[in-house]
């Protein structure tokens, strides 16, 4: 009620709390015990009234109702508290007219919490209405509908709030822009994830002193217990039901396929929003620990905020199965055996992976992994730390990987995805057990990923390939590959095998490239039987920079009689739209008449130069034809005159002649 309407007016707010006599007596005899985690904190600084209605006044100084220093901006605030014989507590606060009531500020938020018969705020245990169907239905990564864009301003605000004094003031500052329980949880989550560092040393030493909220605010370091405890404490101050959930986790130091027993190694939180429990982990939302250096790095991870329980169970197993929030709940054995999809698996848009177990046994020396994604995604893999011994082909919504371990035994397979960022992140990890090696499936060391054309090659300007499959078999050691090329795109190809010394020049000399009407053709001749990587690169002609790798084919030939020579060497004036019909071999026989037939564009004259010079003539079909004799020469050149008014001929092709 308001007393006056002048500048010195004060307001009186009354908070009526009814306790049983037993509860009131307990307050008097056990005030030094640690408060029940669900109970409202007891006021230690103000005067506690004595029974029989006896009252007295005291200025609201020292510690407030939460044990923190009273706010200095309200020095005139006064509080009176009284008990009567029926267990009724009456608290009256007198404060300046323009100030927020301190008791109302603290207790009005807490009134939403459920209370038991003794006045404790004990959140209800999860039940059937909290449970989500397992396995994941792919509907959302979150356990409730969220539009993260609506949090952008709130997140920016929360991340910039600084600690001024105690925890209560920090929560009060955070709640200035929060207008719902969801927003209250969000600002607390964002602040913790951006300000509290994981304390590796304290975690290893299990130094519980370091996990007290006051110490955490001072050092801004803690471990998972501290993260969870701080989050729960801040939520309770904000008036949101929150619980700390202990359990096992597949976190730092986890080994694929390991079993769990003994002491729990992690803790996280459950929050009660919109009539249902939800899960979050601020420890893992804040950053990560480098396994090599054991150093923590702040790296915000949205995935662990209100995560869908069917996804949360992949790396969090609570001590009480009810906190899985799943129907049906999973057993510890299932948790140990189920495939572990890292958070980046879902952050990068992955939906599923097969096999669904973390340990794979090869069949006839081969294992296959497939991943389904909600959008086209780039992938790569590493087997024992190297990008070898596998064929990874991209699909419109995912990828397929065939892996061939080089030795019998246990191997580590990691799969990475790029998503919308420029960085590949580890999304899957398998343990491969191989009991047989097929030596006939040895792959070239230079076979990079991906193999075969895909949506990515089309995106890079290569379309409608003649060979859509990644593997090309040839019985005579020759093949021709063609594809459409987007205007303004240049194509470069090279051949790589594991047999014999091959220079960068010879890597391209076993390929002869022509281009007609926006379609490129690659004629390939293999130097011997075996497996080869045919790499395809592209670049925009008018832009500076190097060619970019797009994909490669795997060429296979089992014919041991194959021994094709290189194609002739081409020079800069050889246009991509030129066509060579003969001779295709870069090595000509000695003392022979050799026919030549080429299609050349935009030239006035053409000739072949060896020991002598032989002109080529243009026929009705548009081909330059003629022949030359290789007697007495070691090299033969094809030369062209581009302008009839000049006498300068340019070299476009070079052949070698066999020794006599």
> How is 500-547 classified by DSSP, letter by letter?
S---HHHHHHTEEEEEETTEEEEEEE-SSSEEEEEEEEEEETTS-S--
108 domain residue, yes or no: no
Cα(235)–Cα(257) distance, integer angstroms: 35
The mean pLDDT value of the chain amounts to: 83
The residue with greater pLDDT, 650 or 70, is: 650
Label residue 516 by pLDDT band (50, 70, 90): confident
Strands (E), 8-48: 10-18
pLDDT above 70 (res 70): no
Cα(176)–Cα(170) distance, integer angstroms: 10
Angle between helices 167-174 and 224-238 (to 10 degrees): 70
Residue where a domain terminates, one of 557, 591, 626: 557
Q: Are residues 280 and 153 part of one domain?
A: yes
Q: Are residues 585 and 547 part of one domain?
A: no
Which pLDDT value is given to residue 202?
77
Q: How far apart are the first and last CA of the chain?
A: 118
Residue where a domain terminates, one of 381, 416, 441: 441
The residue with greater pLDDT, 500 or 531, is: 531
Query: What three-state secondary structure class fits 466?
Result: coil
Q: Are residues 229 and 308 part of one domain?
A: yes
Q: Are residues 583 and 509 part of one domain?
A: no
Domain that holds residue 415: 345-441
Q: What is the pLDDT of residues 279-306, one digit of tens each?
A: 999 999 999 998 788 899 999 999 999 9
Q: Are residues 620 and 550 part of one domain?
A: no
Label residue 59 by pLDDT band (50, 70, 90): very low
Q: What is the secondary structure of 346-390 as a DSSP string?
A: HHTTEEEEES-BSEEE-BTTBEEEEEEESS---EEEEETTBS-SE
pLDDT above 70 (res 109): no
pLDDT above 80 (res 478): yes
Question: Domain count of the chain?
Answer: 4
pLDDT above 80 (res 89): no
Q: What value does the mean pLDDT take over residues 258-272?
A: 95
Q: Are residues 533 and 579 part of one domain?
A: no
64 domain residue, yes or no: no
Mean pLDDT: which of 56-70, 440-454, 496-510 is highest? Answer: 440-454
Q: What are the residues whose beta carbons fall under 8 Å from the beta carbon of 50, sequence distance 6 or more? A: 83
Q: Are residues 552 and 573 part of one domain?
A: no
Closest CA to 330 of 252, 242, 260, 274: 260
Cα(29)–Cα(23) distance, integer angstroms: 10
Q: Are residues 505 and 362 part of one domain?
A: no
Q: Are residues 286 and 238 part of one domain?
A: yes
pTM for the full predicted model: 0.74
Over pLDDT 70: what percentage of the chain? 80
The residue with greater pLDDT, 598 or 28, is: 598
Closest CA to 217 of 201, 195, 235: 195
102 domain residue, yes or no: no
Q: What is the pLDDT of residues 586-623, one digit of tens each?
A: 999 999 999 999 999 889 999 999 999 999 999 999 99
Query: What three-state secondary structure class fits 400?
Result: strand
pLDDT above 90 (res 171): yes
Q: Which of 281, 315, 389, 411 is catalytic?
A: 281
Closest CA to 644 of 619, 618, 621, 623: 618
Backbone phi and psi for residue 242, each to the nearest 5 degrees, phi listed first: -150, 145
232 domain residue, yes or no: yes
pLDDT above 70 (res 499): yes
Written as six digits, the tokens of 268 are 């996280």
Label residue 121 by pLDDT band (50, 70, 90): low
Cα(577)–Cα(558) distance, integer angstroms: 33
189 domain residue, yes or no: yes
Q: Are residues 627 and 495 part of one domain?
A: no
Residue 418: C-alpha distances to residues 52, 344, 347, 391, 425 (Å): 72, 10, 10, 18, 6
88 domain residue, yes or no: no
Using CA atoms of 72, 73, 75, 80 in order, give the dihedral in degrees to the nearest 10.
Answer: -90
Task: Give the CATH number of the domain where residue 195 resides.
Answer: 3.10.620.30
pLDDT above 50 (res 22): no
CB atoms within 10 A of CB 165: 12
pLDDT above 70 (res 19): no
Task: Give the CATH number of the domain where residue 634 resides.
Answer: 2.60.40.10
106 domain residue, yes or no: no
CA-based max dimension of the chain: 129
Q: Are residues 491 and 640 part of one domain?
A: no
Give the sign of the dihedral formed by CA 192, CA 198, CA 203, CA 207: negative
Written as six digits, the tokens of 122 are 């004990």
User: Catalytic site residue 224?
Assistant: yes
Closest CA to 351 of 522, 495, 139: 139
Cα(619)–Cα(61) distance, integer angstroms: 107
Judging by DSSP bridges, how do beta strands 276-280 and 266-273 pair with one another? antiparallel
Q: What value does the mean pLDDT take over residues 321-331?
A: 97
Mean pLDDT: which of 27-41, 60-74, 84-98 is highest? Answer: 84-98
Region for 581 from its dihedrals, namely left if φ exceeds 0, alpha if ψ lies in -120 to 50, beta otherwise: alpha
Q: Which of 266, 308, 411, 496 is catalytic?
A: 266
Residue where a domain terminates, one of 412, 441, 470: 441
User: Catalytic site residue 137?
Assistant: no
Strand partners, 417: 379, 425
Q: What value does the mean pLDDT take over residues 523-548?
A: 93
Over pLDDT 90: what percentage of the chain? 65
Which pLDDT value is given to residue 201?
83
Which pLDDT value is given to residue 506?
74
pLDDT above 50 (res 655): yes
Q: Which of 95, 155, 199, 224 is catalytic?
A: 224
Residue 389: C-alpha distances to residues 386, 441, 493 (Å): 9, 9, 22
Q: What is the pLDDT of residues 366-383, one digit of tens each?
A: 999 999 999 999 999 999
Q: Are residues 300 and 205 part of one domain?
A: yes
355 domain residue, yes or no: yes
Give the sign of the dihedral formed by CA 159, CA 421, CA 339, CA 336: negative
**C-beta of residue 143 within 8 angstroms of C-beta of residue 137:** no
**C-beta of residue 318 within 8 angstroms of C-beta of residue 329:** no
């Amino acid at each position: 009620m308001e007393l006056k309407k002048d500048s010195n007016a004060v307001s009186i707010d009354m908070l009526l709390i009814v306790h049983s006599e037993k509860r009131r007596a307990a307050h008097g005899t056990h005030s030094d015990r640690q408060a029940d985690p669900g109970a409202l904190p007891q006021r230690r600084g103000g005067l506690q009234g004595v029974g029989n209605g006896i009252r007295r006044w005291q200025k609201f100084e020292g510690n407030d109702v939460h044990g923190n220093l009273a706010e200095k901006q309200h020095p005139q605030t006064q509080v009176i508290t009284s008990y009567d014989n029926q267990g009724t507590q009456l608290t009256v606060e007198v404060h300046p007219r323009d100030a927020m009531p301190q008791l109302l500020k603290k207790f009005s938020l807490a009134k939403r919490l459920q209370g038991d018969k003794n006045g404790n705020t004990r959140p209800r245990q999860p039940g059937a209405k909290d449970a989500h169907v397992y396995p994941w239905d792919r509907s959302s990564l979150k356990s409730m509908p969220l539009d993260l864009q609506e949090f952008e301003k709130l997140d920016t605000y929360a991340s910039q709030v600084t600690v001024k004094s105690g925890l209560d003031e920090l929560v009060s500052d955070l709640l200035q822009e929060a207008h719902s329980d969801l927003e209250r949880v969000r600002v607390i989550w964002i602040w913790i994830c951006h300000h509290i560092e994981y304390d590796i040393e304290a975690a290893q030493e299990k130094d519980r002193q370091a996990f007290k909220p006051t110490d955490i605010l001072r050092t801004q370091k803690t471990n998972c217990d501290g993260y969870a405890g701080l989050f729960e404490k801040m939520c309770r101050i904000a008036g949101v039901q929150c619980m700390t959930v202990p359990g096992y986790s597949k976190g730092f130091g986890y080994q694929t396929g390991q079993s769990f027993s003994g002491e729990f190694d992690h803790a996280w939180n459950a929050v009660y929003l919109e009539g249902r429990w939800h899960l979050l982990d601020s420890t893992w939302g804040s950053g990560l620990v480098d396994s090599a250096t054991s150093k923590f790095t702040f790296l915000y991870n949205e995935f662990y905020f209100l995560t869908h329980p069917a996804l949360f169970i992949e790396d969090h197993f609570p001590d009480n199965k009810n906190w899985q929030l799943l129907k049906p709940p999973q057993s510890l054995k299932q948790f140990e055996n189920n495939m572990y999809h890292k958070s980046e698996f879902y952050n990068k848009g992955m939906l599923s992976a097969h096999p669904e177990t973390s340990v794979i046994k090869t069949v006839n020396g081969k294992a296959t992994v497939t991943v389904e994604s909600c959008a086209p995604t780039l992938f790569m893999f590493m087997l024992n730390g190297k990008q070898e011994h596998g064929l990874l082909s991209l699909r419109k919504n995912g990828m397929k990987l065939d892996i061939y371990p080089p030795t019998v035994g246990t191997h580590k397979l990691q799969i990475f995805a790029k998503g919308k960022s420029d960085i590949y992140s580890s999304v899957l990890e398998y343990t491969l057990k191989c009991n047989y090696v097929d030596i006939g499936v040895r792959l070239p060391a230079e076979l990079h990923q991906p193999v075969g054309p895909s949506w990515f090659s089309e995106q890079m300007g290569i379309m409608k390939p003649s060979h859509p499959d990644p593997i090309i078999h040839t019985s005579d050691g020759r093949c021709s590959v063609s594809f459409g090329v987007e205007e303004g795109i240049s194509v470069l190809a090279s051949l790589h095998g594991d047999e014999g010394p091959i220079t960068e020049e010879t890597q391209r000399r076993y390929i002869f490239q022509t281009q007609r009407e926006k379609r490129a053709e690659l004629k390939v001749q293999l130097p011997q039987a075996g497996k080869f990587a045919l790499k395809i690169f592209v670049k925009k002609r008018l832009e500076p920079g190097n060619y970019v790798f797009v994909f490669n084919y795997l060429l296979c030939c089992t014919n041991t009689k194959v021994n094709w020579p290189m194609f002739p060497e081409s020079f800069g004036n050889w246009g991509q739209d030129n066509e060579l019909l003969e001779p295709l071999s870069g090595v000509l026989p000695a003392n022979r008449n050799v026919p030549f037939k080429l299609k050349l564009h935009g030239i006035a004259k053409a000739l072949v130069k060896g020991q002598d010079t032989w002109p080529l003539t243009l026929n009705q079909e548009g081909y330059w034809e003629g022949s030359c004799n290789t007697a007495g020469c070691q090299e033969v050149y094809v030369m062209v005159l581009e302008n009839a008014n000049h006498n300068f001929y340019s070299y476009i092709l070079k052949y070698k002649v066999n020794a006599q």
